[in-house]
Structure 1
Amino acid sequence: MTDEPLKHALIVAHGQPSDPAPPERRLADLARDVESHLKGWRVRSATIAAPNALETQVAEMPAGGVIYPMFMSDGWFVSRVLPRRLGTNAPDILDPLGFDPNLPALASDILRNAILENGWREEETSILLAAHGSGRGDKAAKAALAFADTLQPLVSKSKIKLGFIEEEPYVDAAATGLGPHSICLPFFALEGDHCREDIPEALEKADFQGKLLRPLGEDANIPKLIARALDNA
């Protein structure tokens, strides 16, 4: 009896054009974590920003592999850049992380834990979902809005506001006046400059006195969630 052939997946993220190496290493760590939750899978990684990383990894994948977009929407990079870079006979591209049906429940758990840790009541806590948005189209904003709509019933005692980095309503405007019992959850797949710099600067501009959490995609349960999505693909 022969062993079943390995299934192959490639996790793709945007990366950092100005300094591509650290995001490449971070994504490789994530791929190993995802693979640890699977049997019979080989999980690779590549960022779009690292020169030739995507093309090299795809060339090494056997036929039948899949691409997992580490993005929160099917916007410009997922719907335009990835297909163009992959070319003809490309692997199937799965739904991005932000569309995972289990993600809202994970976010609600993160938020409830944060509320409990601070000794607050849900009804007195405001939630700010800080998302990317885009000047190239409306897909990023629509994905964030849909996620907020799905998340709201799961945290029904708290009010959710939505703010964007690249379009209105901007994060600083959405954060203004929220009060000290507030939680900002970045609706981002990985911790890049937007989460390290742009969001904190916007919150400071708004005199935000609440708690800033890590990006949703950096939660410890994300590798298991991605593994489940690959197994179900």
Structure 2
Amino acid sequence: MKKSAILVAHGSPAEPLPQAATMQALAVRVAMWLPGWQIIGATLAQEGALEAALAKADKPFIYPFFMAEGWFTRTNLPRRLAAADHADLIQLAPFGTDPALIAMMAKAATSSPQSKGLLIAAHGSKVSKTSSDTTYEMVKQLERLGIGPIKAGFVEEAPFLADVARDMPDATCLPFFALRAGHVVQDIPQALEEAQFRGTLLPPIGEDIRTAQLIAAALDQAFWDQTQG
């Protein structure tokens, strides 16, 4: 049996192809760290993409390329898997909750030596607290590593990014997002411009060069846990 995994992101319903291509490219990079594995990238937004990936893979691990547990990882994705007769597959914890991400965030945060603090730009939600809870946990862990001053600002809930950015005009802003989509491309730059932010805006953490290795390590550990169990 060939070891396999499907990396699943939300994607963009309005424009599914660019993010689908991004996930396919990520799958190639992850596969470089896992010789002998079959790694497939897909998005929920691209019609039929997840189902096509499931048809190609033999009992794959499902890796949610999301920043937090929420409706998509707890309800939508399992529902899609069940509908395709794959409810028995092992689904890993989302990318944004991996403890290894803390060190990766710290390295990204210290990449701008002239920075005066770290501003984490995150999604947030008017409905669920899981997104903000995950973000605040990341803030707490980074503070323990000596990163600071550090604050979080959100796109969809208070404290809003523009309001926090006004108090940290020369900070490094690190988007706590998996993919470069609408919030990263439009909402975050607009909020920073509104706040007259003068600091450095980094790419979303999901684009970090170390992401593929982090995912590969999580998949390798999942396979080891499965064989030992």
Partner of 1:137: 128
Question: 1:13–1:46: 8 Å Cα contact kept in structure 2?
Answer: yes
Partner of 2:77: 82
Partner of 1:203: 192
Question: 2:38–2:57: 8 Å Cα contact kept in structure 1?
Answer: no
The equivalent position to 2:208 in structure 1, one of 216, 219, 223, is 219
Instruction: Give the SS at the match of 2:185.
Output: helix
Runs ≥4 in structure 1, deviation > 4 angstroms?
none
The equivalent position to 1:171 in structure 2, one of 157, 161, 170, is 161
Quote the offset at 1:209 in angstroms: 1.0
Unaligned ranges ≥5, structure 2: 223-229
Unaligned ranges ≥5, structure 1: none
Partner of 1:106: 104
Question: 1:108–1:155: 8 Å Cα contact kept in structure 2?
Answer: no
Quote the offset at 1:195 in angstroms: 0.6
Deviates more, 1:53-62 or 1:73-82: 53-62
What letter is aligned with 2:165? A
Partner of 2:152: 162
Q: Deviations over 1:68-108 (max 9, x none)?
A: 00011011211111111111542211011111111111111
Q: Deviations over 1:124-164 (max 9, x none)?
A: x22110111112311111111111111112234x2111111
Partner of 1:15: 11
Q: Deviations over 1:35-80 (max 9, x none)?
A: 01112210011101101111221232213x2100001101121111
The equivalent position to 1:94 in structure 2, one of 92, 95, 102, is 92
TM-score scaled by structure 1? 0.90
Identity, % of aligned positions: 41
Partner of 1:152: 143
Deviates more, 1:85-94 or 1:5-14: 85-94
Partner of 2:226: none
TM-score scaled by structure 2? 0.92
Quote the offset at 1:31 in angstroms: 0.2
